[in-house]
Structures are given as C-alpha cells and as structure tokens.
Amino acid sequence: MTFAYNLANGYPFSTYGENALLLVQGWVLLYLLASYNNKLNAVFFASAAVYTGACAAIFGGFVSLELMALGQALTVPVISFSKIPQIMTNFSNKSTGQLAFITCFLNFLGCVARIFTTLTEVSDLVVLSSVVISTVLNGILFLQVVMYWGAQAKADKKNK
C-alpha cells in the first residue's frame, strides 16, 4: 500500500523506493513458505490471484486517492500489531531471545533516515505518522536488545 500510495501522489522515489523491493520480496517469501510447507494448492493460487488483481486495480488507477489514503493510514495499526507483541514478550522475559543487535540497530537507523526523507521531501501527515510509529517501535526493540544484552546467556548458564 505504501508503494502505491506514494507513487499515486507523485512523491519522490527516494521516499518510498525500498517498498517496491519489499513488495517483490514479500511475494517471493510467501511463495517459498507455501512451497516449503507443501501448501501450493488452489487456496494459495486463488489468494495470489485476488492479491494480484487488487494490486492491478490500485496501480491501474481504479482506486481513489481517498481510499488509498485510508489504506496507508491502516498501515499504522498493522505496524503496531506486528511489533507490540514482540516488545511485550521481550519485556516479560527480560530477554530479546534471538534478536540480533545489528538487525535491530539497522532497522531503527533506517527508520530515522526515513523520517528525515519524509520531512524534507513529502508533506503528508499520513506517511509521516506511519514512519514515526515504526521508528518508535523499532527504537524500543533496539533499546531492549541493548538493555537485555546477554540476559539469554545468563539464563542458559543458570539452567545448566
């Protein structure tokens, strides 16, 4: 949705370009996941056809900018629902488990950069709000990695 919304509004590619790659990456990952789990069946291909049709409608200009703005706004709860359970689990376990320092750091840094490009190149509150929320949540995850550094190793040593 982010890619289509920004493209339809004529925003500079530098403010959303990575979303084109993420779109392709998502398709490939879903295919590989279904293939690995022997789920390449009629339901998978029907879902892929519906998704492809929706993308064609969005990119083909058949969806109004208002509806696309609503879709873009809905990315905020999706982002939140994808990160908050991890944050809460980390907090209750006092450990980040397998989260890698470098991955969390680069996610957070990328979000900070995205705030900068959004503020300097786009004056769209919907886009900015999704970027800010993502940055805050990735920042919390990064802080948890720093705060709970080595907690898993200590817990493992106690259990042995």
- What would the two tokens of residue 112 be? 């900070």
Write out the chain's pLDDT in tens, 160 residues.
Answer: 888 999 999 999 988 888 889 888 988 999 999 999 999 999 999 998 998 898 889 888 899 999 999 999 998 999 899 999 999 999 999 999 888 999 999 999 999 999 999 999 998 999 999 999 999 999 999 999 999 988 765 555 555 5
> What is the DSSP annotation of 30-79?
HHHHHHHTT--SHHHHHHHHHHHHHHHHHHTT-S-HHHHHHHHHTHHHHH
Q: Are 127 and 5 in contact (CB under 8 A)?
A: yes
